[in-house]
Structure 1
Amino acid sequence: MNGPDPSWDLYRTFLAVLREGSLSAAARALGLTQPTIGRHVDALEQAVGVQLFTRSLHGLQPTEAALDLKPYAETLAATTAALLRAASGPGDRVAGVVRVTASEVVGVEVLPPVVAALQARHPDLVIELELSNALEDLLRRDADIAVRMVVPTQDALVVRRLGVIALGLHAHRHYLDRHGIPARIEDLAGHRVIGFDRETPAIRRMRMGAGSAAGALDRSRFALRSDSDLAQLAAIRAGCGIGICQVPLAARDPWLVRVLDDAVDLPLETFLAMHETLRDNRRCRVVFDALAQGLMRHIAGRAPVAVSEKGPAA
């Protein structure tokens, strides 16, 4: 590489083109013009001395060199976002931005009242909530705090085990009124079962722990398939069939009934983690503790936030 180091703007544009697949889509994502995006790509190619994209009928295709650069550009993006979050508020006040990542179901069904109570007490606190069943990299600072359903294995993390969320088979009362309540695991063969579309390593581990019920949780047996946990939960609530749901979550809905609880009782270990450099950051510590308290209440079958905490701060 000759000449001055490329500016961050060039890497940001490069990453946008990688993610969006075309100059025009990247321009829309960044709020720039298409010619500007093109100039940025040309400038980065000249700076690094390799071609990064080739044109095809399907848009811009990344070269092998571009794919080699991608993780470094992603690290730059994560570091830049973390820097801005760190600078968003003074370290001695609960103010500024904290980025939290959680699974779809936890992020939608459990965390909102916790966040509402937290922001009622600390109105200058901004929460960025990233919902994904993928594991965000806390060491790369993709997020500040993560709710994890697997044991965090990375070093340099502050980790707190919160407990075990029980998973079980549930159905809407109307569905069971129409189709009957299965008495044995074999009876599921006569029911519509809701489940995943693609089997991930996490799902494979879950099925291995299901014992005699593993066969009933095979993809070929599902009448409705979705890789979205929220879609599966919505289907259970709509009366589409029998599916897996968090036991404490279903217990809040009088229309949901647990079935075959002796045969299907799957443990979902729950952890909270953050980078150890944030241990003494007051806003991150306050958010970490509030999330831990709310999730432990949920695991125990109680509302994630006490009634007295739901209103505005006095």
Structure 2
Amino acid sequence: MDWRAVKFDWNKARAFLVTAEEGSLSAAARALGMAQPTLGRQVDGLEQELGVVLFERVGRGLTLTPSGLELLDHVRDMGDAAGRVSLTALGQSQALEGTISISASETYATVLLPPLVAKLRQQEPGIHVEIVVANHASDLLRREADIAIRNFRPTEPDLIAKKIGMADAILYATPQYIEKIGAPTTPYALRNADFVNMDRTGGMLKGLNSLGLGLTEANFPLLTESYLVMWELVKQGAAIGILDAHIGDAEPKVQRVLPDLEPLTFPIWLVSHREVTTSRRIRRVFDFLAEELKR
């Protein structure tokens, strides 16, 4: 098929692209922040418009058909081209007016960003702010956001990044839960405690055991990909959770577990596209966030 002769609905094409990259409808729906049935209808609609089958089901995942593989490169080119057009238009804008999108994880978007955005709006009422809540890394090159707060340094050459500092990840639980497990005073004493798992790959288990906790998979009876759900479970006394100390220490319902335990540390990076920093309003927001987050 000559894909160049086909007129695409970009929403459907983007649904196809993200599904192909994520490998399943559920993962793609999470990445795009939409309901899985809605995403499925967009992919089905694209298949009907083109008259081809793009995916085959393999177990719980999806694999591309030959037609899907052929289409994938063209849709990627479309996404890159759309991103370049949008970036160029934004880069040429010199007004301190318009919309800026900021991507952050659930906890940062819920706790850290609202007071900063309120302060920014007082200083720059012409700037409208869209907060993109994403626990995955938003694709700045495809304009999923203008600015992102991340815990890792980007590797893409077209992105610029500024390291804001380091943060401590601390273990928290309610006083009642700490008393329930015997008020432990050593890392090894937590070997019978329950934890909320945030990582299917075993990285959290490995990280905590590096601190001498001696945990196994049996210590993680609760699993969620949502930081807000994890934090609510901790506040309800269901288990121990780990969170940025700036957020955890401000919650009166919980306290640090083993206050003298060495924390896990992670960096905080502010990331944007190299071209969009030529826009005065995006530069203004980038510098504002960099200054405020340092505090």
Q: Same fold judged by TM-score > 0.5?
A: yes
Which amino acid is the alignment partner of residue 247 of structure 1? A
Equivalent residues in 2 for 1:123-142, closer than 5 Å: 123-142=125-144
Residue 268 of structure 1 pairs with residue 270 of structure 2: no
Aligned counterparts of 2:64 and 2:146: Cα–Cα separation in 1: 30
Equivalent residues in 2 for 1:79-118, closer than 5 Å: 80=82, 83=85, 91-118=93-120
Residue 150 of structure 1 pairs with residue 159 of structure 2: no
1:212 is aligned to 212
- CA shift for structure 1 position 281: 0.6
| Residues 74 and 117 of structure 1: CA distance in aligned 2, closer, same or farther (over 3 Å) | farther
Identity %: 27
Residue 165 of structure 1 pairs with residue 167 of structure 2: yes
Which amino acid is the alignment partner of residue 223 of structure 1? P
Equivalent residues in 2 for 1:11-30, closer than 5 Å: 11-16=10-15, 19=19, 25=38
Aligned counterparts of 2:181 and 2:122: Cα–Cα separation in 1: 45
Which amino acid is the alignment partner of residue 264 of structure 2? L
- CA shift for structure 1 position 227: 2.5
Which amino acid is the alignment partner of residue 253 of structure 1? E
- CA shift for structure 1 position 77: 4.2
Cα contact 2:47–2:54 (8 A) shared by 1: no
Equivalent residues in 2 for 1:40-51, closer than 5 Å: 40-42=49-51
- CA shift for structure 1 position 132: 2.1
- CA shift for structure 1 position 55: 10
Flag the structure with larger Rg. Answer: 1
Partner SS state of residue 292, structure 2? helix
1:69 is aligned to 71
| Residues 83 and 256 of structure 1: CA distance in aligned 2, closer, same or farther (over 3 Å) | farther
2:283 is aligned to 285
Q: Which runs of 5+ in 2 are unaligned?
A: 20-24, 27-36
Q: Which runs of 5+ in 1 are unaligned?
A: 46-50, 298-314
- CA shift for structure 1 position 93: 1.8
Aligned counterparts of 2:46 and 2:138: Cα–Cα separation in 1: 28
Which amino acid is the alignment partner of residue 232 of structure 1? M
**TM-score scaled by structure 1?**
0.72
RMSD of aligned residue pairs (Cα, Å) = 3.6
Of residues 241, 249, 271 in structure 2, which corresponds to 1:251? 249
- CA shift for structure 1 position 66: 1.3
Which amino acid is the alignment partner of residue 40 of structure 1? E
Of residues 168, 177, 181 in structure 2, which corresponds to 1:175? 177
Partner SS state of residue 275, structure 2? helix
Aligned counterparts of 1:235 and 1:4: Cα–Cα separation in 2: 51
Number of aligned residues: 277
Cα contact 1:165–1:268 (8 A) shared by 2: yes
Aligned counterparts of 1:296 and 1:154: Cα–Cα separation in 2: 24
